[in-house]
Structure 1
Amino acid sequence: MRGLRESSRIALAVRTAIAAALAWYLAPYVPFAEADYSYYAPLGVLVSMYPTLAGSARSGMQTLMGLALGIGLGFGGIALLWMGAPGIVALALVVGVGVWLGGLDALGVGREWIAMAGLFVLLLGGATPEEFSVSYLVTMAFGVAVGLVVNLLLFPPLYLQQAADRLSSLRDAAAQHLHDVADAVEGRKISTDQLTEIVAELHSTVDEVTRAVEDADESSRANPRARGRGGERDLNRRRLHALERTVFSIRDLADVLIRVDELGTAPEGAHGPLAVAIRRVADLVAEPAGSESAGERLAAADEALAAYTAVLDEAPTVTGPTSVPSDVASELTAAVCLRRMIDASRPFV
């Protein structure tokens, strides 16, 4: 899993070590498999052991499908040998076709095993390739099964709280950056580089948090520890969607402020109310979902935005059915951005 914490990596290492040792110990007793091939059991653990149950199950099934295709390909190479084809030709065809089949996206990680399994059957199968193939596939499948059982029984990881923490970090970062923007607006020290850096940092953080939420969703699938915690999953998804909208609006707000600063055409007296509105929106964004003071923050943000738009309403306009001065139009766009941030936070009040 992407972005595993050190503690999660250690837990995965411990579970994998236990599963590999258990698979190795029990492999000689697996039916339909020769004990000489017991070393494939811990290999089956390794290829399927992922931090989550869903990831382990998916990886294990994809690997077995790739092995099955590769074994069939290996028998095709043996058939060529029986028909008198040179060994080098059979080997080249098995490897070439295996690599070509490795382009099947539906097989996932199993794609990497097609050519390898075919080569193993062709070169290691000896006089009884069918015995080797059955032992190879069955023992690997046993290792996959052991890995799944160990992952299920030994405290399967659940990353819902970690995702919630990452969402809170993104919320705090967005609020702090809005305060920084408000300071720049109030002091009339708009910096294109600063706003560009803020937007880039927030977008990078959104990508990381999105992956954390996706990993948390995956960790909850088929996980007994996730029972009764569907509300947390739903809240994480809703918070992510709201924060994505907020970050998108911050980017638009930054673009507007840069344009207005470059033109130097902001309506007289608009900077102060705009800075106040941005601060009140930042306070709202910073509120945890369902906090007791969220209602007050929402009302303050609405009032500050209304005060700012009132200033814009008093700005002089150019007569005409569709004409709006560019300075007022840009300031109205800033108001729309702030309204979107307020609306994104409203469901959590």
Structure 2
Amino acid sequence: MGFDHVAGVGTRLWRWSRTSGTQPRLLHAAKAAGAAALAWFVARHVPGVASEYPYYAPLGAVIAMQTTVFAGLRSGIQTLVGIALGIGVAGFTMWVGDPGILAVALAVGIGVLVGGFRVLGEGSSWVSTAALFVLLVGGAHAEGYSLGYLVQMAVGVVVGLLVNFLVFPPLHFWDAEHRIDAVNGVLADHLDGLAGVLREGKRDVAAWDRQQDRLDRAIADVRSRVSIAHESRKINPRGALRGSRARLQQDGARFRALERVAWYTTDLTELVARSGPVAEGIGRPDPEFADPLATALDQIACVIRGESPEDEADRAIAEVERALDASRSNPSHVAVTSAALVSLRGIVESERRATADIDTKTGPFGSARSAQTPH
């Protein structure tokens, strides 16, 4: 019994560390520390004048240790190009006149101007930085300093890239999938809130704005995570593993479906809580439509969370359709409810595509898939 308790605590801690991102952060920190130490060791054995500036190599290694191998390569190249341009700017400034207040201002001004090109990416800030270093730190030994600075940064970048490529190169599939699942919870909460508005006949515009902002931020976060997952497969030996391409395509399809769910949910909010019966400020809307709509919203929220079978949502929507078919009054409410019905169908169908054949704890078929092998 004691062993089971300890094992359960260990399992929860492991899941928490993975869900919170602690595991990849710890691995990334360990790799960065190792790359910096290795770069320092290698830098001290570089021949020539560059050996006098070994402290730049660990900096280059840290720059190359990005969340993906491809991002590290891009960041490293952009940084080296920015430094090379900064050295050129410093050379031009020193050719114009002796280092001084005006020379510093000129170096920074030209450096910022040159660094404004978007193609430089992360290297843009290094143009003016490198120009100042060469101008103020290099001083009378600017040529040797410039060469050592650039070479040792390149040594560090190469070491960092090799470490990131060879030691558990990161694939961020699970992180993207977890974030996709988390959006389901936000969507379900939003639908629950809509159901409450329909039942009570009260609205809070500020509250809906906050909820919509929360949904928008969740979707934007997932978009970023899916993009990182795509990028993490580039020039990554683990990206060639069987099934990784299919998994990435599946995640992309899930996200696009969830975007449609979010769009339909936003449209439904505008219809019901802003421009629909509740927005008229005349109290509780006609129960003929409000009750089946609220029930459908609650049921869809349960389906999204994986708390009830998918066909429960279809049955709840069918009740709304029957209410419309039987109605002979309130034509404006009929129009709004008909439009809301389209959004309800869109949410259910998009959510079905978003979670089809996926092993998650939320979404349609959630309980049925829980017995499958986890990622």
Normalised to the residue count of structure 2, the TM-score between the two structures is: 0.78
Identify which of 252, 264, 270 aligns with 1:255. Answer: 270
Is the Cα–Cα contact under 8 Å of residues 80 and 123 in structure 2 kept in the other structure? yes
Give the letter for the 2:213 counterpart: A
User: For residues 139-180 of structure 1, what are the alpha-carbon distances to aligned partners after superposition, in whole Å with 9 as ceiling and x for unaligned?
Assistant: 110000011111122222222112211211211332344245
The count of aligned residue pairs is 330
Q: Displacement, 1:334? A: 0.9
Q: Is the 8 A contact 2:201 2:285 kept in 1?
A: no
How many percent identity over aligned positions?
36
Q: Which amino acid aligns with 1:62?
A: Q
Residue in 2 that maps onto 1:334:
340
RMSD: 2.8
Match of 2:372 in 1: none
> Matched residue of 2:159: which SS?
helix
Q: How far did residue 260 of structure 1 move?
A: 0.9
Separation of aligned partners in 1, 2:104 and 2:279: 67
Q: Does 1:61 align with 2:77?
A: yes
Pair 214,75 (structure 1): closer, same or farther in 2 beyond 3 Å: same
2:73 alignment partner AA? A
Structure 1 distance, partners of 2:31, 2:253, is 33
Contact 1:158–1:225 at 8 Å: present in 2 too? yes
* Aligned residue among 331, 350, 356 for 1:344: 350
Partner of 2:163: 150
The match for 1:43 is 59
Please give the alpha-carbon distance, in whole angstroms, between the structure 2 residues aligned to 1:45 and 1:159. 21
Provide the secondary structure at the position in 1 that maps to 2:44: helix
Aligned equivalent of 2:291, options 262, 265, 272: 272
Aligned ranges 1:151-230 → 2 under 5 Å: 151-182=164-195, 184-185=197-198, 187-192=199-204, 195-227=208-240, 228=242, 229-230=244-245
Distance 1:173-1:69 versus aligned 2 partners, 3 A rule: same
The one-character-per-residue Cα deviations of 1:301-342 (angstroms, maximum 9, x if unpaired) are 344323312322332369xxxxxx322211111111112112
Q: Deviations over 1:72-116 (max 9, x none)?
A: 1122123224xxx67544333222211222222221121111122
How many angstroms apart in 2 are the aligned matches of 1:30 and 1:327? Answer: 78
Give the match for residue 316 of structure 2. 304
Q: Distance in 2 between matches of 1:196 and 1:131?
A: 59
Hey, what does 1:27 align to over in structure 2? 43
Structure 1 portions without partners, runs of 5+? 319-324
Q: Which runs of 5+ in 2 are unaligned?
A: 1-18, 357-375
- Counterpart position of 2:148: 135
Task: Specify whether residues 4 and 35 from structure 1 end up closer, same or farther in structure 2 by C-alpha distance, changes over 3 A only.
Answer: farther
Alpha-carbon displacement from aligned partner over 1:202-225 (angstroms, at most 9, x marks no partner): 223222332222232233322222
Q: Secondary structure at the match of 1:34?
A: helix
What amino acid is the match of 2:301?
A
Q: CA deviation at 1:65?
A: 0.5
- Counterpart in the other structure of 1:74: 90
Distance 1:274 1:303 in 2: 12
Structure 2 residue matching 1:251: 3-state secondary structure: helix
Which residue matches 1:322?
none
- Are the counterparts in 2 of residues 267 and 312 from structure 1 also a CA contact under 8 Å? no
Partner of 1:114: 127
Q: Shift of residue 256 of structure 1? A: 2.0
Aligned letter for 2:63? V
* Alignment CA distance shift 1:278-1:68 (3 Å): same
Aligned partner of 1:245 among 256, 260, 267: 260
The change in CA–CA distance for 1:21 and 1:279 in structure 2 (over 3 A counts) is same
Larger radius of gyration: 1
